[in-house]
Structure 1
């Protein structure tokens, strides 16, 4: 009987130890702290308006069948030393109608900093021909930011992802090759 008591105690201690041993939790990267700024139009040296195509869904081989996509707009300041101000991030539908404004006030994006804006897979408000219009300005000469979108769906045992680069549709100030 003593032996069975010891075996039970050993089992309880062993199971208790297993409960305490947990896998380390994954650390999520910190969200960038983007501060709002006031833009002095008299001090602006350069800026751009950038059009970024967004595909909220794509059509499949079978007529009428489609795959919904999550879209992430990424705005990356590529300048090594200077900040830029993002003055507008607007989401438009297939017909060009404004669906959503993401910024109430301009935000500062520091040197080499990035931020993103997500359209959920279930959000069909933009349609297949949706787009973002992003406007940015700088008070000093800077390198142009990288502005693009990534669309993705990983349903079932298949997945698809692709990028959609932004296209400058209006420039302000210094003209540089892209």
Structure 2
């Protein structure tokens, strides 16, 4: 079932890119079978992702804390009018050989208050595996200055992951999308 859903998503995404209609196809990529399960379960069900039990957590010797600025809404024309955006936080292990462990994925609002915790248990990303968190367009809890804090680690020095957010919206015939890269705010482990 997971492979079938994954293949369907790949085909839809490729079609959207081919026709340059990513914004208008965004809603077609929703996993209908996953509507009733939590984001944490969706993260764990992605290919190459394993949820780790507390007793099986590896000893972390290297890693980072990454700040990712995101925009659940942006100003449109002036400060009295805003446009809502769907945000996808993409987490990609770039190491060819070693897995990494994602320990924290937390969402903060413009006031710096934690709005949501996406992980209660660490997950492991296999080499070159990726996963994502989606903040829907109608979720306005983050505001203009929303951000994610992502904490990751590994059992040895590895190629750091790519952590970035993609914001997208369509209004009538107009579409907008942009990427916001994560910024390392703390190194972890031995130098």
Please tell me the TM-score bracket, short chain as reference.
0.7 to 0.9
CA contact (8 A) 1:141 1:174 kept: no
Task: Indicate the residue corresponding to 2:161 in structure 1.
Answer: 145
Task: Identify the structure with the greater helix proportion.
Answer: 2
Offset of residue 44 of structure 1: 1.7
> Where has structure 1 moved over 2 Å in runs of 4 or more?
26-31
How many residues align? The count is 148
Task: Indicate the residue corresponding to 1:32 in structure 2.
Answer: 46
Task: Indicate the residue corresponding to 1:56 in structure 2.
Answer: 72
Give RMSD over aligned pairs.
1.7
SS at the partner of 1:104?
A: coil
Larger radius of gyration: 1
Offset of residue 174 of structure 1: 5.1
Q: In structure 2, how many angstroms separate the alpha carbons of the residues matched to 1:146 and 1:74?
A: 8
Normalization by structure 2: what TM-score? 0.73
Cα offsets for 1:67-125 (capped at 9, x unmatched): 10000000000000100000000001111111000001000000000000000000000
Normalization by structure 1: what TM-score? 0.78
- Which segments of 5 or more consecutive residues in structure 1 lack a partner in the other structure? 1-25
Task: Indicate the residue corresponding to 1:75 in structure 2.
Answer: 91
Q: In structure 2, how many angstroms separate the alpha carbons of the residues matched to 1:39 and 1:129?
A: 33
